[in-house]
Amino acid sequence: AQTVTQSQPEMSVQEAETVTLSCTYDTSESDYYLFWYKQPPSRQMILVIRQEAYKQQNATENRFSVNFQKAAKSFSLKISDSQLGDAAMYFCAYIQGAQKLVFGQGTRLTINP
């Protein structure tokens, strides 16, 4: 069964600095998608960024980028120029085909002013 592991329960960063959140996953498939979701205190699940496994180029969305290492089954999220509004729980997730989303345990990110 596919699993997703986030080894950092909590992270903190100074405002305007860069932080990287880690995620590893386990799968025997070659074609799948990986996601980072943000969950602020409002509880909404907000899609931050998506990576297709067959694309070698790392996805970017404004200040958010990923480091996708397919052979190592690693999918980290880098947030540049951190802002107070980035404070939230961040979840890494995996999906293969039309299967279920598998979520990691989450990383709570705190932004220090």
Q: Which is nearer to another protein, 43 or 113 (CB)?
A: 43
Minimum distance between the CB of residue 27 and another protein, rounded to whole angstroms? 12
- In this chain, which of 15, 17, 45, 110 binds another protein, going by CB under 8 A? 45
The answer for residues whose C-beta is within 8 angstroms of residue 78's C-beta and 6 or more apart is 18, 19, 20, 21, 64, 65, 66, 67
Measured from the Cβ of residue 6, the count of other Cβ atoms closer than 10 Å reads: 21
Asked if residue 47 binds another protein (CB under 8 A), the reply is yes
Around 71, how many Cα atoms within 13 Å sit in the side-chain half-sphere?
Answer: 0
Pick from 50, 70, 73, 78 the residue near another protein by CB under 8 A: 50
Q: How far is CA 50 from CA 12, 18, 46, 68, in A?
A: 23, 20, 12, 11
Q: CB-based contacts of 42: which residues, under 8 Å, 6+ apart?
A: none
x/- map, 5-44, another protein, by CB under 8 A: ----x----------------------xx-x------xxx
Q: Which residue has the tokens 């979840």?
A: 91
Q: How many residues bind another protein (CB under 8 A)?
A: 25
**101 makes contact with another protein (CB under 8 A):** yes
Residues forming contacts to another protein in the complex (CB under 8 A) are: 4, 9, 32-33, 35, 42-45, 47, 50, 52, 91, 93, 95-101, 103-106
